[in-house]
Amino acid sequence: MMIVEPIAKAAASLLKKRFTVQYPEERESIPDNYRGKLRLDKDTCINCSACALICPNKTIDMVIVETDRGQKKMPQVNHARCLFCGLCEEVCPPKCLTLTKNYEFETYDRRELVTRPEELE
């Protein structure tokens, strides 16, 4: 009797639907309110630094970037520290900083999670 019950449970679990997917070939559906990596529209950024000031985890630093109009301070994001709270998106006056549904953060080096403004697209 003791052996039959575990074998029956194991057989039943083999017939159930899998909980995992074969990533990256298969992808999970993402809910509408998901918050992923940040995206920056460099053309509408007014370098006000509101995003860097409101960030509770000091994830955003303002760095100097060369543009076609000269030098401009823009946000650099450390996604390793980001809480994905959305405060930076809410406080941005021109709404140039937005949270995307991109959830791919795989890397071997945490320094690669620091994203320069040119790469936030």
Examine the pLDDT at 19 and tell me if it is beyond 90. no
pLDDT band for 8, please (50, 70, 90 cuts). Answer: confident
Tokens of 105: 């953060």
Quick one: CATH architecture of 30-119? Answer: 2-Layer Sandwich (3.30)
Q: For residues 78, 84, 90 and 92, what is the CA-based torsion angle, rounded to 10 degrees?
A: 10
Q: What is the pLDDT of residue 82?
A: 92
> Any idea what the Cα angle at residue 84 is, between residues 44 and 93, rounded to 5°?
25
Q: Which residues pair with 74 in a beta bridge?
A: 63
User: Measuring CA to CA, how many Å separate 74 from each of 3, 13, 29, 93?
Assistant: 65, 52, 32, 14
pLDDT band for 1, please (50, 70, 90 cuts). Answer: low
Give percent of the chain above pLDDT 90: 44
What are the extents of the domains in the chain? 30-119
> Could you give the residue ranges of the DSSP H alpha helices within the chain?
4-15, 50-54, 87-91
Examine the pLDDT at 5 and tell me if it is beyond 70. yes
Q: What's the pTM value of the predicted model, to 2 decimals?
A: 0.73
- In angstroms and rounded to an integer, the radius of gyration of the C-alpha atoms of the chain is 21
pLDDT digits (tens, 9 = 90+) for 88-112: 999 999 999 999 998 888 889 989 9
Q: What is the pLDDT of residue 97?
A: 93
Q: What is the pLDDT of residue 63?
A: 94
